[in-house]
Amino acid sequence: MKKLLAIGLVLLTHLASAQNIHIRINTQHVSLVYGVSAEGRLVQQYLGQALQPAFADTTLKGKQEAYVTAGMESLLDPAIRIVHNDGNPSLELKYAAHESAPQKENDVTATTITLKDPVYPVTVILHFEAYYKEDIIKAWTEIKHAEKKPVQVTAYASSMLHLKADKYWLTQFHGDWAKEVDMQEQYLTTGMKILDSKLGTRANMLQSPMFLLSLDHPAEEENGEVLAGTLAWTGNFKFGFEVDEHNALHVNAGINPYASDYTLKPGEIFTTPAFIFTLSPKGKGQASRNFNRWALDYGVLDGRGPRLTLLNNWEATGMDFNEQRLTALFGGTKKLGVDLFLLDDGWFANKFPRNADNAGLGDWAPNTTKLPHGLGYLVQEAQKQGVKFGIWLEPEMVNPKSELYTQHPEWVLRLPNRAENYFRHQMVLDLTNPAVQDFVYGIVDKTMSENPGIAYIKWDCNRMLTNTWSPYLKEKQSHLFIEYTRSLYKVLDRVRAKYPHLPIMLCSGGGGRTDYGALKYFTEFWPSDNTDGLERIYIQYGYSHFFPSNTMAAHVTNWGHQSLKFRTDVAMMGKLGYDIKVDDFTEKELQFSHDAVETYRRISDAVWYGNLYRLVSPYKENRAVFQYTSEDQKKTILFNYLMNIAKNDVFAAVKLQGLDPQKNYRIREINLYPDTRTSFHFDQLYSGDFLMKEGIQLTGNGRSLSSNILEITAE
């Protein structure tokens, strides 16, 4: 009895002291504070603008359980659900410990909070990394247990956040092939709204894993509180937004548990991907600037490293080419002055030649009719002309019409007892099988080592997972979606161990893969096959909320009816490339394009690393204005697009942002088409103050589908 009393006392003291615990996760402008309830549960006490160091956390009132468990008393959609060995489907998580340690020159602080179930041996660790300067928080979770046999984990959010406002407005980035990231905003009514993907490989074809959540009113560009979030996972994701009966909002973000019950062995650690978010007090503009800066320094491979301009042959030739035709195209690369020639789909397979998309995928030997001297010859020929050479691969896929399919039917994801289902005449390889991982890695490694000098890869992935079943996973089919993505990362880890800085473009039939789980392996991504200059404005505008411009491959092609100048100006806001028949260019077109490439090199520092201000949204007016300003405020590049102007359009002066009010700036139109003159008359110096308060008229020549680039330099 005495002993029991003693234990009781220890527990009480422990709980009492636990209640004084306040765990602050701080960035420069954001604070997330956790505490411990009287029952010993971890509660979110605060999420909002940074609290001053002197602020007494004890006054914080938030009592919402931080990481809601299933099977207990909460009425909310849970962050985690576990079914134990004895069939009990409940989990209670109590605070056990926490730790906080600054890393990396104190910019990043890592915090862990350990939670334990008092009845079952289950431990959950909540991880946070707070990026102080960038105002970004990365949150993920580890789940483990020491029960005798495996438990079933059927929900496993990376993070759960709780917000309280009068109203909530959610922006999603919805799409389809050639219509990626269309921004749609809605008012959240009571109940649940879910943004998710169940498509597996080409996971983001319909929905991109990112959202903006505006508090109290629809999201504005430079005003109001906006939470921007994304999941670093190249697969199925789910964001749940639940407005409860008290008008509080609960956000659950993580891997989509759809068809993915996870059998977790004793001692095994289930690590969720990171949910990455920022909370901006200055609208979505500041939220994207936070993301862009974080991405350049932490999120993207070689974020501040070099990027190659290129000429791609996909739009110009499709799969209809041979050695002569390709080497002739190298000349175009040279004439444009870009760094690299990128050979796209159609260069491989012999028994089932890759002359169309219905054959050859999986047989990665150069087609001897098209390329009798192999790839190495092309690399050398390109080098002779002073350009680098890059190659397209789609290593995760197979056409049934291929030798690979015949030799390894057991490597293909498909239902054993039903008709095969094709998308673009192809199927997905069972990457969960280590032999397939070796094969996929081997394709990259073989292509690279047999053809020294290859300087770039475009990694494509043209179909999603449907009718799927893994011969390798057998009775563990519910692990397929998760294991596929983990296996992809295993392959990419091997690729990066051997080729750490090779530029690789992430492509998925357009923008079907666009996430920070992949971008730590890739230097850039292909936002969309849609390169129509006008439609690209919307697409690049959408992605710019989360991704810096040097990650967005943007090619000048023949899509769209706009002038070459207009299409080039749009591509110059991303990572510039061409995919066009250069030989069909007139002299003037060539002159313009060559000069544009040079101009791009000169301005790319500001465009890639500068702060982006989306001054006019194409969703709001028949024009769009983007401003990129260097950190030191000395250089601004402004892109101005007049779209399909209506008769009654009156365009107000555009006020610039982020300049130094004290500095004087000179404005000059650049990237003019040969023999044209600027229609602006900026023949004086303007103070930053004037440009930001009074603004400038940007009507230009006033014609639909015209564009301008202005270089604004401090003197």
- Select 311 or 698, whichever has its Cβ closest to ligand DGJ: 311
- The minimum distance between CB 356 and ligand DGJ, in angstroms, equals 10
* Whole-angstrom Cα Rg for the chain: 27
Instruction: Report CA-CA distances (Å) from 451 to 371, 445, 714.
Output: 14, 10, 47
What token pair was written down for 473? 């996973």
Q: Tokens 């080592």 — which residue?
A: 449
Of the listed pieces 130-138, 212-220, 374-382, 504-512, which binds ligand DGJ according to CB under 6 A? 504-512
Draw the binding track, 515-554, toward ligand DGJ (x: CB under 6 A; -: no contact): -----------x--x-------------------------
Burial grade of 103 (CB within 10 A; 0-12, 13-18, 19 or more): exposed
In one letter, which amino acid is 438?
D
- Select 526 or 600, whichever has its Cβ closest to ligand DGJ: 526
- Specify whether the CB–CB gap between 237 and 157 falls below 8 A: no
Q: Does 345 bind ligand DGJ (CB under 6 A)?
A: yes
Q: Tokens 């197979």 — which residue?
A: 398
State the number of binding residues for ligand DGJ (CB under 6 A).
Answer: 11
- The minimum distance between CB 527 and ligand DGJ, in angstroms, equals 10
Q: Does 240 bind ligand DGJ (CB under 6 A)?
A: no
Of the listed pieces 400-408, 505-513, 628-636, 644-652, which binds ligand DGJ according to CB under 6 A? 505-513
Q: What SS3 string covers 586-633? A: CHHHHHHHHHHHHHHHHHHHHHHHCEEEEEECCCCCCEEEEEEECCCC
Q: Does 362 bind ligand DGJ (CB under 6 A)?
A: no
- The minimum distance between CB 524 and ligand DGJ, in angstroms, equals 13
- The minimum distance between CB 461 and ligand DGJ, in angstroms, equals 9
Give the residue nearest to ligand DGJ (CB).
Answer: 345
- The minimum distance between CB 458 and ligand DGJ, in angstroms, equals 6
Helix (H, G, I), strand (E, B) or coil at 39: coil
- The minimum distance between CB 462 and ligand DGJ, in angstroms, equals 5
Of the listed pieces 48-56, 151-159, 506-514, 607-615, which binds ligand DGJ according to CB under 6 A? 506-514
- The minimum distance between CB 59 and ligand DGJ, in angstroms, equals 54
Dihedrals phi, psi of 651, to nearest 5 degrees: -100, 120
- Specify whether the CB–CB gap between 328 and 364 falls below 8 A: no
Q: Which of 299, 510, 688, 700 binds ligand DGJ (CB under 6 A)?
A: 510
Strands 122-131 and 270-271: unpaired
- Select 396 or 460, whichever has its Cβ closest to ligand DGJ: 460
- The minimum distance between CB 375 and ligand DGJ, in angstroms, equals 17
Q: Does 314 bind ligand DGJ (CB under 6 A)?
A: yes
- Select 230 or 462, whichever has its Cβ closest to ligand DGJ: 462
Q: How many CB atoms lie within 10 A of CB 144?
A: 18
Q: Does 297 bind ligand DGJ (CB under 6 A)?
A: no
- Select 344 or 483, whichever has its Cβ closest to ligand DGJ: 344
Q: Estimate to the nearest angstrom the gap between the alpha carbon of 111 and the chain centroid.
A: 24
- The minimum distance between CB 555 and ligand DGJ, in angstroms, equals 9
Q: Which of 286, 462, 487, 562 binds ligand DGJ (CB under 6 A)?
A: 462
User: Which residues are registered as beta bridge partners of 141?
Assistant: 126
Dist. CA 645–CA 699, nearest whole Å: 11
Dist. CA 389–CA 396, nearest whole Å: 22
- The minimum distance between CB 460 and ligand DGJ, in angstroms, equals 5
HSE-up (13 A, CA, CB side) for residue 572: 34
Of the listed pieces 62-70, 130-138, 184-192, 503-511, which binds ligand DGJ according to CB under 6 A? 503-511
- The minimum distance between CB 358 and ligand DGJ, in angstroms, equals 12
Dist. CA 165–CA 151, nearest whole Å: 38
- Select 175 or 510, whichever has its Cβ closest to ligand DGJ: 510
Nearest residue to 18 via CA among 102, 113, 91: 113
What token pair was written down for 275? 């949910």
Draw the binding track, 381-410, toward ligand DGJ (x: CB under 6 A; -: no contact): -----------x------------------
- Select 299 or 509, whichever has its Cβ closest to ligand DGJ: 509
What token pair was written down for 357? 């998309």
Draw the binding track, 325-344, toward ligand DGJ (x: CB under 6 A; -: no contact): -------------------x
How large is the greatest C-alpha to C-alpha distance in the chain, in angstroms? 98
Helices (H) and strands (E) in the chain, counts: 12, 36
- Specify whether the CB–CB gap between 120 and 91 falls below 8 A: yes
- Select 195 or 506, whichever has its Cβ closest to ligand DGJ: 506
- The minimum distance between CB 314 and ligand DGJ, in angstroms, equals 5
Dist. CA 311–CA 571, nearest whole Å: 13
Of the listed pieces 148-156, 289-297, 502-510, 516-524, which binds ligand DGJ according to CB under 6 A? 502-510
Q: Which of 181, 427, 464, 507 binds ligand DGJ (CB under 6 A)?
A: 507
Q: Which of 503, 509, 542, 548 binds ligand DGJ (CB under 6 A)?
A: 509
- The minimum distance between CB 394 and ligand DGJ, in angstroms, equals 7
- The minimum distance between CB 395 and ligand DGJ, in angstroms, equals 13
Q: Which of 460, 532, 589, 711 binds ligand DGJ (CB under 6 A)?
A: 460
Dist. CA 679–CA 696, nearest whole Å: 13
Query: Using alpha carbons only, what angle is made at residue 263 by residues 259 and 265, rounded to the nearest 5 degrees?
Result: 165
Dist. CA 594–CA 424, nearest whole Å: 36
Q: How many CB atoms lie within 10 A of CB 178?
A: 16
Q: Dihedral of CA 342/302/499/497: which sign?
A: negative
In one letter, which amino acid is 503?
P
- Select 117 or 529, whichever has its Cβ closest to ligand DGJ: 529
DSSP annotation of 696 reads B
User: What is the contact surface with ligand DGJ in residues (CB under 6 A)?
Assistant: 314, 344-345, 392, 460, 462, 507, 509-510, 526, 529
